[in-house]
Amino acid sequence: MKKPIVTVKDFSLTIGDKEIVKELNFDIMPGEVFAFLGSNGSGKTSTVRTLLGIYEATSGSLLVNGKRVTPKNASNVGYLPEERGLYTRSKVLDVMVYFGELKGMTREAAKDFSLKFLERVELADKANLKLKKLSGGQQQKIQLGVAIMGDPKLLILDEPTKGLDPVNRKLLLDIVDELQKKGTAVIYITHLMEEVERLAHRLLILKDGKARAYGTVDEVKKEFKSKSIEDIFVQIYKEKSTDLSTGVAHV
């Protein structure tokens, strides 16, 4: 039996006086696309940052391959954050190689991968241009390249298709498909439910830091007696919410 690559157990997070996440539990299997859903401010990004060791959990555990992620062992994790951005004053190839090195690759391997990736996404001629000379979509492709460098076992994509045209969106989803088939687990954060329906094996809907739906796509649909994930999402967010810090229900 396969072991989960991600195990989140009784995870709670409080930053300052604000309770961001409370008692969250889920796991993700290798080769699985896991849709991590929720409205803005629901705690998704904070959960991901804690999983990556950027934030410290208030309680509970978040493990990747049975270990807490630290910069020392994060090389098998690829991350495309929601807050997009790279060093715009540096050259494309320099930036990719730098991140490759930070992920533990040798300079040569990082350069080799970068050139192949740029060829694949039709940006080979931009390798020696400064990033600021590239369009927003082109920069996003570079950032995806950085995320998938080093053959990650876990790939976290936070709204990866935001701002992409249909052609580049398809290219990105194809790359995700390929990685998933190779056994990479993908945490896929999005507000586009058709992408969830197309890609996800399982999903979790987070609201006010609490899991409100969790399971395979079919299980969740069955539980909510609905044929669409979008309807389920809307239904959850129309319900009365609970203020985690006070425990008082409000609309």
Partner 1 sequence: MSKLRSVIRHEYLTIVKQPSFWIIMIAIPLIIAAVGAISYFGNKSSSDRIEEIAKDLKNVSIIDKSGLINKDVVAAGGLTLSEPQKTDEIREQVRTGKKEALVVYPETLKAEGTYQIYLSSDDLTKMSAVSSLGDSILKTSLFLPLGSKEIITLAQNGATSDVTIYKDGAETAGFNEYIAPGLFVILFYIIFAFSVGYMLTSVSEEKENRSMEMVLTYVEPRTLIVGKLLGVSLVTLTQVAFFAILAIIAFAVLRQVGGGIQLPFGIDFAKIVFDPLAIFFGAAFLIVGFLMFAGFMTATAAAAPSSKEANSFSAVFYIGAFVPFYFIMLIVTNPGNPVVSFLTFFPLTSPVVTLIRNAVGNMGTLESFAALAVMTLFMFVSIWVAVRAFKLGALEFSQTIKLSNLFKR
CB of 103 to partner 1, least distance (A): 5
Cβ-based neighbours of 187, under 8 Å, separated by 6 or more: 6, 28, 34, 36, 48, 154, 155, 156, 157
CB of 203 to partner 1, least distance (A): 24
Cα(114)–Cα(108) distance, rounded to whole angstroms? 10
Stretch (H or E) spanning 166: helix 166-181
Contact 22, 190 (CB under 8 A): no
- Considering beta carbons, is residue 49 or 191 the nearer one to partner 1? 49
- Minimal distance, residue 179 CB to partner 1, in Å: 18
Residue 189 and residue 44 in contact, taking contact as beta carbons nearer than 8 Å: yes
**Closer Cβ to partner 1, 71 or 183, answer by number:** 71
105 or 232: CB nearest partner 1: 105
Give the residues across from 52 on adjacent strands. none
**Rounded least distance, CB 228 to partner 1, Å:** 32
In the bound complex, what is the minimum distance in angstroms from residue 241's beta carbon to partner 1?
23
Contacts of residue 211, defined as CB under 8 A and 6 or more positions apart, other chains included, come to: 24, 25, 26, 204, 205
- CB-nearer residue toward partner 1: 70 or 181: 70
Comparison of 78 and 211: residue with beta carbon closer to partner 1: 78
- Entry field: residues in the chain: 251
Residues that bind partner 1 (CB under 8 A): 16, 49, 52-54, 70-72, 74-75, 77, 79, 81, 83-90, 94, 98-99, 101-104, 143, 146-147
